Every structure is written in structure tokens, then in C-alpha cells.
Amino acid sequence: MGSWLMQFTYHTDLHWWIFAAVGFGVVAISLFTVSSQAIRAALANPTNSLREE
């Protein structure tokens, strides 16, 4: 990948921490989303959902 990028006039360096930061960001966003949905479901009153059906 690095040799392919070196062929361009304007190129950037690829560092390992960029991939680690993106991976950490994806994990953090997904954990926040799943946790908020789980908390909302746990705090919901089940009788309200049964009445709507």
C-alpha cells in the first residue's frame, strides 16, 4: 500500500495508530448505541407495549 501511494504527487503516510483510532471509535460508538438501546428497553414498562399490540 505504501509503495502504491508513493507513486502519487500528493501522498500521505499510513501509520498504525490511525487504524487503531478508527477501530476504537467504531467500538465506542457501537457500545454506546447498544448500551443505550438496552437501557431504554430495560427501563420501559412492559405493560405499555402489550397494550399497544
Task: Say whether pTM exceeds 0.75.
Answer: no
pLDDT of res. 6: 78
pLDDT of 53 > 70? The answer is no
Cell of 3: 509503495
User: What is the structure's pLDDT at 52?
Assistant: 65
Measured CA to CA, the distance from residue 43 to residue 32 in angstroms comes to 16
pLDDT at 32: 98
Q: Mind listing the pLDDT tens digit for each residue in 3-43?
A: 887 788 887 778 899 999 999 999 999 999 999 999 999 99
